[in-house]
Amino acid sequence: MADASFMGKVLGAASQGAVGAFVGATLSAVTEPVVNKVLVERKAVSVALSEHTLAKIQAFIKTTMATNMLKFPFFEVVNMIMNTFTLPPSVRGTVTGMVFTSVTLPVTNYRFRMSMNLPIGGLAGLYQAFGATVARDIVYGVARNNMTGWLMARNPKAMQTASGRFKTMFMTVLFSCVVSAPGNELRGFILQPKGREKPFLEFFDPVKTIRSTTIGGLIMSISLATGVMCTPFVEQFVQKFKAHAATDPLGALLLFIVLADKLTQSARMARMEKALEDKKA
């Protein structure tokens, strides 16, 4: 029973992250290249928007969807597992941030370089700004655990309704993004394209910092708040599927095989499309 309960929590955290990943990927495909140009190249929003096109959004959404589906569920599961231990929020947040960044930084930097149309740069490029990113994610993890504790102490029943879950997660994530913003700014400073770097004092502009933090924080907040609001419905569906599988295991197995085949075909088509695009280039 304990194992089943633990796996249920893992599934819930993963589904929360998956829903958030889908929402976030859709929003990020539109806004992230703009945010990155404001954050790293320090361009005005109007200039960054003028350089963004529908074709670029359609191409980038493939990257945001794939990377989000890896990162969001992974963070939520790691955070959930750490919250099962009776440790101070600062310790849980530190471990979560370190584990998350160490595993997913190559994905994060790959996505960043794709959004900026920059070369990947090999292993060094995939692990660029490791220290700044770890520091940012540790601060984010600690802030998130503390904020969750404060909100739950204030209203222990907040997570019992859909609107309560949305508001709690939205405030928690937005607060955490704001608190960890200096680390994100430092990461942006380190990631400046070679030959186009701005001096330290010129790069750190309070107005541009507020602008990029606000946009990025709202995307994360809306995404994860939507995810936590929808999680109970996903869990209900899984419970119904498990009950159906118990009475009709052959049907459940056939359904699983069909879904796996669809996913495999989709991945195969994506690889073929990329190969054709590379040949044209």
The distance in angstroms from the start CA to the end CA of the chain is 55
Tokens at 182, concatenated: 């200096």
Residue with tokens 């909100």: 151
Q: Has residue 278 got a pLDDT over 60?
A: no
Residue pLDDT, tens place only, 148-189: 989 999 998 888 888 888 999 899 999 999 999 999 889 988
Residue with tokens 């993890």: 141
- Report which of 222, 135, 241, 236 is spatially closest to residue 187, judged by C-alpha positions: 135
Report residue 16's pLDDT band, with 50, 70 and 90 as the boundaries. low
Task: Print burial letters for 98-113: b (CB count within 10 Å at least 16), e (below 16).
Answer: bbbbeebbebbbbbbb
3-state secondary structure of 197: coil
CA atoms of 162 and 151, how far apart (whole Å): 16
Q: Has residue 268 got a pLDDT over 90?
A: no
Tokens at 230, concatenated: 């929808």
- Report which of 101, 100, 83 is spatially closest to residue 92, judged by C-alpha positions: 83
Tokens at 100, concatenated: 């998350």
Q: Which residues contact 228 (CB under 8 A, 6 or more apart)?
A: 16, 20, 165, 166, 168, 169
- Report which of 202, 194, 182, 220 is spatially closest to residue 42, judged by C-alpha positions: 202
Cβ neighbours around 251 below 10 Å, total: 11
Residue pLDDT, tens place only, 103-129: 889 888 888 888 777 888 888 888 899
Cα angle value 78/82/87 (rounded, 5°): 160
Highest-confidence segment of 76-80, 113-117, 124-128, 234-238:
124-128
pLDDT at site 8: 64
Q: Has residue 280 got a pLDDT over 70?
A: no
Q: Which amino acid belongs to residue 209? A: T
Mean pLDDT, all residues of the chain: 78
Is there a contact between 230 and 14 (Cβ–Cβ < 8 Å)?
no
Least confident of 86-95, 139-148, 197-206: 197-206
Tokens at 109, concatenated: 């930097």
pLDDT at site 75: 84
Report residue 1's pLDDT band, with 50, 70 and 90 as the boundaries. very low
Q: What percent of the chain has pLDDT over 70?
A: 73
Tokens at 225, concatenated: 């708040």
Is there a contact between 165 and 227 (Cβ–Cβ < 8 Å)?
no
Is there a contact between 153 and 211 (Cβ–Cβ < 8 Å)?
no
